[in-house]
Structures are given as structure tokens and as C-alpha cells.
Structure 1
Amino acid sequence: MSQDLAAAPGDPTTQSGSLKRGALGLSGAVIMSAALMGPAVSVYFNPQLVAAQAGAATPFVFALSMVASLIVANGIMQMARELPSAGAFYTYVARGIGARTAFVTGGLMFVAYALLVPAELALIGSYTHDLLAQHGVQIPWVIISLVAGALMTLLAVRGISGSIRVALVMFSCEVAVILVISVIVLAKGGAHGLTAAPFNPSESPKGLSGIALGMVYGVLSFVGFEAAATLGEETRDPKRNVPRGLVYSLLLVGAIYVFCTYAETIGFGTDSTGIGKLAADAAPFTTLGQTYAPWMNLLISLAGISSIFAVTVNSNNGIVRILFAMGREGMLPRRFGTVHPRLGTPAFAVLAQSGFALVVTVIVGFWVGPFNAYAYLGAVLTFGIIPVYWLTNIACMRFFRKYRPDQFNVLRHVVLPVLGILLMVIPIYGSVWPVPAAPYNWFPYAVLAYAIVMALIATVLGRRRPEFLARAGGVLAGVESDAEAAGMDEVSDTVAVPGSRADAADPADPAAAPEPA
């Protein structure tokens, strides 16, 4: 198998072309996004980070983050209907703004998705190590992380359908466990009885800045809702099922977050003592289980491991498809854009991404500790994904105004995109003022510096090799009729080369190729 996957692009074991068509339906798209958000991971490990900033208003932060994500999702859904592609945001920005901006978007997407994988691998190593240590079993966290990485790679190589089936089982089990323990906590009245105080923003001891900084981890909890957009080439009827998958997964997981974080806050208590214990607890849901339902301890532990692994698998699938699209269009070495002829998976991209993830996991995990690796990488990737949301909504406004005037709608293509952008400014604001403690104070600037470097590279490429950037977003999903329905020239599924049919744009339709902006 490894020899097949390592074969050169010209070998018979690899081919350029499309991913496996029609592998998933609507339910697969929903599970892809929902499992990537990782409900158990988020309610196990993010509320304490939010509580440290927003106090008892933690459920309010999650509710606000859900609303912001739903509004942001509007722009993504609009573009997904018109441009179903494995490149997702990369393709949307290429068509709506231009190739240079798309190049930067691809770089930011790499930060967001690629860092989520090592963050989760470090977390599963840390969490599982601690659980085993409680029972006298000592296995180094790094060994656990490496084994999880190997299983992740195997699932990705074998195909998206297998990954989704595994994710569905894990998602169902983890959701059942966290809902049961939440119901038990609330049925017992929590620490001091039920109250609506957690939905009052004034409960934040740091005021608006606490809400804003807490939203960094609120938004982090929803990162992945857009994952279904990367399945545009593998989902049946993608123009219908991908947008629906996005919104259904957001509503489902958002409701779980709000309910479970409310139970978590009530379980510890809304007073300063209870919130202090919540913020200081590395595994608060485990503590809730020991306090309110000791018989569920094992189930809670297994649900946590299951959820972390499901997030790892699905986030890996997402970044692999971004790499595949960029390689197929020549923005990365073309081997990234090849698929295994028998499995129909982007095998080289899978191996390259897995290698990167494991190296980052080991280096950062030993440098700052595995749990800090999760917290730090999680903050950085959030700052990476938020500008991508901004750019996609800008692309949505510009694309429909210029290239789809007959479909243009002020609410869907102006009001909601602008509101989504403004809402996503809140966590950025909270991360720069008041200045947070190190190292969080320099994370936003590190991502900004990275984006500037990517922009400079794109500018140089645009001047020296404009045909290189002109291919950005040029390969769309679907058969010829899909391309025609989108008002575009026929787009080949093969890697575009100068002078080929796939490289040529229809001069009658400016949307058929991205601008070199």
C-alpha cells in the first residue's frame, strides 16, 4: 500500500482527476461538519477556557458564537450552491475576489485546519494518558498521539465513506453521553438550583472584553461547521446538500453546546467560587460525572476519547481536500492533486498532511506540554479561520453583485454578510484589547504577519507568473451540466495546464475565471 501511495504522478498507481463522486448524501455532509465540531471535545475542554474570561456568562458566549456562526454560514452557503468544490473557501474567494486573495485564503485555511489536527492529536494523547494513569497504567502521551495519528491516516487513505461511518458512530455515542449527564445535573438542581443568570452577559466579570475573549474559544468550538463545503465533489447533489448540511449541523451542535454548557455552569455553581473551580478544572465534565453520576465515569471518559478522535479524523479530511484542490490547480506540487485509482482518495496529500501533523504534535507537545499545545494551537487556528470567514462573505457580496445579478438579494448578499463580518470582529477585538497575558497577546499578530507574507508571495507570483494564479479556483465539481448551470464554461476535472480546455476561460463570462486582484 505504501509503495502505491508514494508512486510518482506518472505512474499507473496515481492519476489526476476527480475525487469519488456521490460517495455521500445529506446525512454524510451533516456528520462531516457536526463531528468535526466535536461536541464532546468542546464541552469537555472549552467551557473552562471561556469561563476564565466570561465567568458565569459562559453559556451566553456559546449562544452568541452560534448566532455569529449561523450568520457567517449564510455567505458560505450562497457560494457553495454556485461553486461546489473540494477547494471550498479557496475556490469561493478566487471567483469572488481574485486569485491573489485566494492564495492568501488557502494559506489561512492551512493554518486553521492543519493546526487543528495536531491540536487534537496532542489533546487525545494528554487526556488518554491522564485517564490511564488514574488506573495505574502509564503510557507516554506521545505514543498515544502517534497511534491515533496512524489510525487517522489509515481511515483517510481508505476513503471518505469509511471516515464518515466511523464519525457517525463516535458522534452518536458522545452526544448521548454528554446529554445524559447534563440532564442528570439539571434534574438534581446543580450546585445551587436552576437560574437564567448564565444567559445574562452582565455575569461576565470582565464585561464586554471577557465576552469577546471568551468568544475566541466559543468560535473555536464551531470551527469545522464549514467542513461539508470541502465535500462538494463527493456529495450527491452538492448544490443542495452541502448548504443544508452546513446549517443543519450548526443548529444541531449549537443546541447541544448551549444546553450542555448551561448544565456545566449550573453544576459547578454560578457564584465566584463555583466559576473559579470550573475555570481551574482541566476536565470539568469528568468532575461533574464523579459528583452527580459516578456510574457514568467510564462512559464519560470513552466519549471524550471518541470525540477527540472524530474531530481529528474529520479535520484531517478537510485539510487534505484543500491541499488536493491546490495541488490539482498547480498552486502546490501536482502530486498533491493526484488520486489513488482504486481508492479514489488523494493519497499523497493524506500522507503529506499526516506527516506534518505528527511532527507539529511532537514538537509543540514537548515544548509547552500536550494540553497547552491544544490551547495555544486552538487560539492560533481561530485567528486563522476568522479572516477566511470575512473574505468568503466579501466574495459572496462581490460575486453575486457582479456575476449573478439576476440572483442578487440585499438581505442574503449584503446585510447578512456584513453582519457576519462585524460579529466575527468581536473575538479579534477581545484578543488585542485589553492586552491578554502571554503568549495569547502575540497570537493575533503572528497570524497577521503570516498573512502578510502570503500576500507578498501572491503579489510576486501574480507579476512574474500570472497564468499560475489564474488557475486558482478553476476546477469545479460536477459534470458539464453543472458548469453550464453556474453560467460558466465547461471545466475539466483534470489538472489545468496552459493552453488546455480547462485552462481557458470563457471571455463572455467574467465569472469563468478569477480576477488577478
Structure 2
Amino acid sequence: MEKLKKDNLSIIETVALSVAIIAPTASMSLNISLMAKTDKFSSPLVFLISTIIVGIVSYSVIKFNTCMSTAGSLYTFTKEALGRRVGFISGWSLLFAYMALAAGCSAGAGAFTSKLLLSVFGIHVGWLPLSIVISMIMIILGITDAKISTRIMLTMEGISILLILALSIVIIFKVAFTKGLTIAPFKLNGVKTSAIASTSVLAFLSFIGFESASSLGEETKEPHKCIPIAIGSAVFVTGVFYLLSSYAQVIGFGLDAKGLKAITASTLPLSDLAGIYASKGFGTLLILSASLSFFSCALGSVCAGARMLFSMSRDGLMHKSMKKVNRRYNTPYVALILIVTVDLIGQILFFNKDGIDVFSYYGTIGSLAILVSYIFTSVGAIVYFTKKKIWNALHLIIPILGIVSLLYVLWSSIYPIPEFPQNLFPYIVLAWIVLGVILSKLFSKKEVYVETDKQEELIVENAN
């Protein structure tokens, strides 16, 4: 049987994958300006609420990881709880999410790298050629030892986070000594609760990928202990980072009509704030940090998606080539190359669009797909841990709250019906699930035929 490299990763490297796919730097580089259009100055309040919701949703995932160690992540958890077919739908949806996130973040990395080249060297290079180069680098890093790729992701995201934290602290101190600090960003500020609720969807989606450390279950030392800590730490640390950064951005632009107009109009809020509170050069560094964050998210998504395909292939639900591993590094290289290739084709389809728009498209598609997987996993946790008599009635409150929250986020993402092309995204996700069911039946039949042939050959040999 093809195997991944056992006991290869420490808890730090496991945390790296979840943090990389969450991509907190990328989220902070774009989301606050978008959120301010509906929640005005209350983005920190929205992130506080969303952190609590994500913590509730992560409860089921963390509990599963204390019992199972697998490259299949949510696919395997749901399969063990709700059966092979439902497990496949959950895993296939999660695979699509990782592929969409990889495509979107590759485009985002290309877009920010393009901005960086223009800002520093005055050279204009389109996002797509840069994304193609980035994709080739991802193949090389993804195939090498997982220890190397996760450390690179952690380094990139770590540097990016430190830069934003430094700016946030500078803003907070300067505002404190001039205007004075206020807790107003943690209040409603005249915003309707319905607007806060709808904006929380965007904040919740900023945590997408927190579960990805689960896909390293077969490569991590002491996985039953390390992976739950990694997921919990990723959610907590990212939540604190979001609260601090969003607060700094809101008070940095100002809690008045002028400040609101400035933050909603800004396409690079962190860079703009750096120009005001630090220097233009620091703003350029933040553009670089955003590019690194998008790259690490794309790399992490590709690595997690490849392990998902590997696990499905090993279970006979995908073509057997997907379970091939590199003989030197024990990484699922065929699955990884396939994912990068498909993602490149997906980006080329939008060659005439801006890279940030492409990121938005694929990021939304990936978010819808991953919500389906989260819901199945939460339902599976209730069934599995109740059946095993691990959870009593009191324990069920948390996953039920998680399911209600996820259903609300999913519903708010598709209704009111968004404008074209976003109105097509739910149907794209549905079509993907249908395609997966067809493929799984096809490959399952092939596996049965192969096993039958082998049994007949064995019977003939024994008879002779």
C-alpha cells in the first residue's frame, strides 16, 4: 500500500498548514474595506462574533481528530460516521473547496506581485503570467518533503502577520496619544443587527481552512494530541489577530464620515494606513506580505487537496494513480500535479479579469463548497459520538449550535440572490457534487471488477 511519511511533522509544522490556508494576512488586506460598507465601524465586533462561531464549529473537527488520524480529513470523519457515500460527498466538496481556494489565491498572489513590481520597479506584468510561475513553484515545493513546504508556509505567513501586527500597534499607540482609544468598534454604532449578521458571513469565511491540519494526520507525530492543539491554536491565534488588526484599521481611518468614506474606498487599506502612520516603504512591504500570504494559502490548499485525493483513491473512489507517492519524499505527487493543472486551466478561463476578481470568484465558490463539508462533519459528529456513547445530551448543544450557524452562513451566502456571475456559484458547487457521485460509482465498479478477477485467478490457481 502507498503510504505518506509517518511521524514526519511536529506540531509547529501542523499548525502551519491551517494558518496558511486561513491566510489571515490576505483576509486583512482586503476584507475590512468590504465589511465597512455594511457594518461601518463595527468590524471588530463582527470578528468577535465570528471567532466564537468558528470555535463552536471547530469543536466537532477537533473531537474527531482525537479519535482518528488520517489524510482524508473531514472525508474520513464523515465516512466513519454517516457511511461511505455521504462521506464521499463531504470529502468531494472539501476537495473542490481546496482546489478553488488554490486557484483563487494563486490569482491573488499574481495580482499583488504585479502591484509590487509596478510600485517598486515600474514594471507592468499581468497577474496570469505571474500566477503560472507561482503554480510551477508550488508543484516543486508540494512534491518535496512536507516538512519543507509547511515550514515555508509558516515563515511566509509568519512574516506577513508580524508586519501587520507592527503596523497595528503603531496605529493604536499613535491614535491613543492623539485622539484617544475607544470601544466604539465593539458596539453596533447604529448598524442594524441584520447588517451585522450578514457581514459576519464574510468574517466567518475569513477562517475557512482552519480544519486543514487534519489532512496531516498520517504524517504528524502524536496526531491525536498535536492536531487538535494545532486546529484550536490556529482558530484562537487567528481570531485574536483579526480583532487587533480590524480594530487598528477602523480607528486608523477614523470613526467619522470622512474615515468611513476613506476605508470603504480603499483597495489597499493596510498599505494606505502604512503611508499615514509609518512610511510608504512599509506600505510596499505590506503589499509583499499580502502576496506571500496568498502564495502560502495556495500552496497549503494544493497540499491538503492532494492528500484528500490520495485518501479517496486509496479507498477506491478515485483513479488508482491518485494514490501514487513520490518515492523519495512520500508525497502524493500525481494528485498534486493534477490539482495545480486544473487550477491553472480555471485561471486561464478568466484571463481578461483582474486577479483580485478571480480570487473573489474562486474564493466564494470554495467557501460554499467547504460549508457543505462542515455541515456533514458536524452532523456526523453527533451521530458518531452519540453512538459510541462518548457524548451525552449536554455535549450535543455545541455541534447543534454549529450546524445552525453553518446553515445560516450558507443561506446568507446565496440569498438574497447575488448578481451575475456570483448567482451561478451555488449551481457550480452542486454540479461538482453530482460529477463526483458519478465518478465515485464508476471507479467503485472498476475496483469490484478488479477484485473479482483476482479472486477468480486465485481460485483457478488453487484448483490447479
Same fold flag (TM > 0.5): yes
Go from structure 1 to structure 2 and tell me whether the alpha carbon gap of 1:185 and 1:104 turns closer, same or farther (over 3 Å shift). same
Say whether the 8 Å CA contact 1:215–1:426 is kept in structure 2: no
**What is the distance in 1 between the residues matched to 2:377 and 2:453?**
29
Deviations 1:446-489 (A, max 9, x none): 434544x258638x939x968969xxxxxxxxxxxxxxxxxxxx
2:393 maps to 1:410: yes
Which position in structure 2 is the counterpart of 1:457?
A: 438
Q: 1:355 aligns with which of 341, 353, 377?
A: 341
Task: Considering fraction of residues, name the structure with more helix.
Answer: 2
Q: Superposition pairs for residues 212-291 of structure 1, below 5 Å?
A: 212-291=197-276
CA separation in 2, counterparts of 1:113 and 1:53? 28
Does residue 58 of structure 1 match 2:43? Answer: yes
Q: Which structure 2 segments of 5+ residues have no match?
A: 455-464
CA–CA separation in structure 2 for the residues paired with 1:203 and 1:466: 59
Q: Which is worse superposed, 150-159 or 274-283?
A: 274-283
Q: Which residue matches 1:101?
A: 86
Whether 1:330 and 2:316 are equivalent positions in the alignment is: yes
Between 270-279 and 176-185, the greater mean CA deviation after superposition = 270-279
CA shift for structure 1 position 346: 0.7
User: Which AA in structure 2 matches 1:185?
Assistant: I
**What is the distance in 2 between the residues matched to 1:386 and 1:67?**
17
Residue in 2 that maps onto 1:167: 153
* 1:350 Cα deviation after fit: 1.4
**1:418 deviation in Å?**
0.4
- CA spacing shift, 1:259–1:468, aligned 2, 3 Å: farther
For 2:459, the equivalent position in structure 1 comes to: none
* Mapped partners of 2:436, 2:143: distance in 1: 32
Distance in 2 between the 1:42 and 1:398 partners? 34
Partners in 1 of 2:277 and 2:7 — Cα distance? 45
Q: CA deviation at 1:107?
A: 2.0
Q: Is the 8 A contact 2:22 2:210 kept in 1?
A: yes
Give deviations 1:103-125, integer Å, cap 9, x for gaps: 21122112211000110111111
Structure 2 counterpart of 1:512: none
**TM-superposed deviation, 1:297:** 2.5
Determine whether 1:31 maps to 2:16. Answer: yes
Matches of 1:320 and 1:203, distance apart in 2: 46
Kindly provide the amino acid, as one letter, of the partner of residue 155 in structure 1.
L
Per the alignment, residue 196 of structure 1 pairs with 183
Q: Percent identity?
A: 29
Quote the Cα distance in structure 1 between the aligned partners of 2:451 and 2:52: 42
Residue correspondence of structure 1 range 72-83 to structure 2 within 5 A: 72-83=57-68
Question: What TM-score results when the alignment is normalised by the length of structure 2?
Answer: 0.90
Counterpart CA distance in 1 for 2:291 and 2:189 is 35
1:38-94, Cα deviation, whole Å (9 max, x unpaired): 221111122222223322221222222211111111101111122211011110111
Answer yes or no: is 1:390 the counterpart of 2:375: yes
Q: Measure, in 2, the Cα distance between the counterparts of 1:317 and 1:230.
A: 9
In the superposition, relative to structure 1, how do residues 398 and 368 fare at CA in structure 2: closer, same or farther (>3 Å)? same
Letter in structure 1 aligned against 2:441 = L
TM-score (norm 1): 0.82
Deviation at 1:214, TM superposition (A): 2.2
Q: State the secondary structure of the residue aligned to 1:234.
A: coil
Gap regions ≥5 residues in structure 1: 1-15, 470-495, 501-517
* 3-state SS of paired residue (2:421): coil
Residue 156 of structure 1 pairs with residue 142 of structure 2: yes
Residues 421 and 454 (structure 1), Cα distance of their counterparts in 2 relative to 1, 3 Å cut: farther
2:287 aligned with 1:306, yes or no? no
Q: Which runs of 4+ in 1 moved over 4 A?
A: 190-193, 464-469, 496-500
Distance 2:352 2:125 in 1: 19
Distance 1:468 1:51 in 2: 53
Aligned residue pairs total 451
Asked whether the equivalents of residues 107 and 454 of structure 1 are also in contact (C-alpha less than 8 Å), the reply is no
The alpha-carbon distance between structure 1 residues 243 and 60, as it changes in their structure 2 partners (threshold 3 A), is same
Change (3 A) 1:266 1:445: farther
Conserved 8 A contact 1:86-1:233: yes
> Aligned partners of 1:102 and 1:262: how far apart in 2?
40
Pick the aligned partner of 1:138 from 113, 124, 131.
124
Deviations 1:224-271 (A, max 9, x none): 111110000000111111111100111111100111011111111233
2:422 equivalent in structure 1: 440
Alignment of 1:109-124 (within 5 A): 109-124=94-109
> Of residues 302, 312, 315 in structure 2, which corresponds to 1:316?
302
Alpha-carbon distance in structure 2 between the residues aligned to 1:100 and 1:92: 12
* Correspondent of 1:341 among 299, 302, 327: 327
- How many angstroms apart in 1 are the aligned matches of 2:273 and 2:451? 58
Q: C-alpha distance in 1, partners of 2:69/2:190?
A: 43
* Contact kept? 1:178, 1:300, Cα under 8 Å: yes
